Amino acid sequence: MRSGSIPTVLAVSLLWFFPLHTAAQDYTSWIRYSDSGDNDLIVEMIEQGDLAIGLDVAGALGLREDVQVQEIILAVGEQITHRSSWERELILRVMLASVFAPTLESSELERRLQANRNGIDFLVANLPQFGLSLKREVTRVLSFLHPPEYLSTLMAEGRRITEILREQEGQLSGEQAALTLTFLETVGTIADPEFANLVLLILERTRHLEVAEKARSVSRSLLMSERLGRIK
């Protein structure tokens, strides 16, 4: 934390200017017209404010034209240590859903991810220790940015899912099922036949109907891609 820094003073001033009872659109309006040069100040706002302010700020970042937020991702993940891990993960999840919204065109999503590569690297490297909801959000964005070094992490996450299925005799909680479906969706989009055996193992072990149907569809697609690759 940079105690006594100019950003801290400005952040506190903004929090006084927009008191807690002020409507969320006041934060949204300011952040919408900010740029990456304001990222340090935005980090201070998240750090100095309560959780509601942090979530408002994270959600508003997707509205601005300058999509570089990797400094904020890294700060929330590593620097703001006085918040509990679930609070930091919730802020990161809201930020990812806003800046890398699933409603964006795939080309725009890929552009935004490339512009924040250091932040995405950090999220992928820490994927094993995240809670299920943040894991799901990170896994989703990997559909649009998946260099080889990311695929090994995604493969390891798939193996963890198969172990959960083995330990729980095919049963999944709601969050576990949601993560598994997102994993299957991402693997289906990447279309790398190397994932075929892992998807087949999920299909073999799951007793969750929606997961089974998705795994069946994705495995069929991956096996077809493998056959076509052999023909070429």
How far, in whole angstroms, is CA 171 from its chain's centroid? 25
CA torsion, ordered 153, 159, 164, 165, to nearest 10 deg: 140
**pLDDT score recorded for residue 227:** 66
**pLDDT score recorded for residue 62:** 94
Instruction: Tell me the C-alpha distance between 110 and 208, whole Å.
Output: 32
What single-letter amino acid sits at 49?
G
Mean pLDDT by 10 residues, the chain (232 residues): 45 48 64 93 90 93 94 94 92 97 92 95 96 97 91 96 98 98 97 96 98 98 75 54
**pLDDT score recorded for residue 138:** 97
Please answer whether residues 57 and 46 qualify as being in contact, where contact means their C-beta atoms are separated by less than 8 angstroms.
Answer: yes
Burial of 4 (0-12, 13-18, 19+ CB in 10 A): exposed
Instruction: Tell me the C-alpha distance between 123 and 191, whole Å.
Output: 22
**pLDDT score recorded for residue 29:** 84
Instruction: Tell me the C-alpha distance between 40 and 76, whole Å.
Output: 11
DSSP readout, the chain? Answer: --TT-HHHHHHHHHHHHS-TTS-THHHHHHHHT--GGGHHHHHHHHHHS-HHHHHHHHHHGGGSS----HHHHHIIIII-TTS-HHHHHHHHHHHHHHHT-TTS-HHHHHHHHHHTHHHHHHHHHTGGGS-HHHHHHHHHHTTT---HHHHHHHHHHHHHHHHHHHHTTT---HHHHHHHHHHHHHHHHHT-GGGHHHHHHHHHH---HHHHHHHHHHHHHHHHHHHHHHH-
Please answer whether residues 187 and 200 qualify as being in contact, where contact means their C-beta atoms are separated by less than 8 angstroms.
Answer: no
pLDDT (tens digit per residue) in 84-105: 999 999 999 999 999 999 999 9
pLDDT (tens digit per residue) in 49-96: 889 989 999 999 999 999 999 999 999 999 888 889 999 999 999 999
Instruction: Tell me the C-alpha distance between 172 and 163, whole Å.
Output: 11
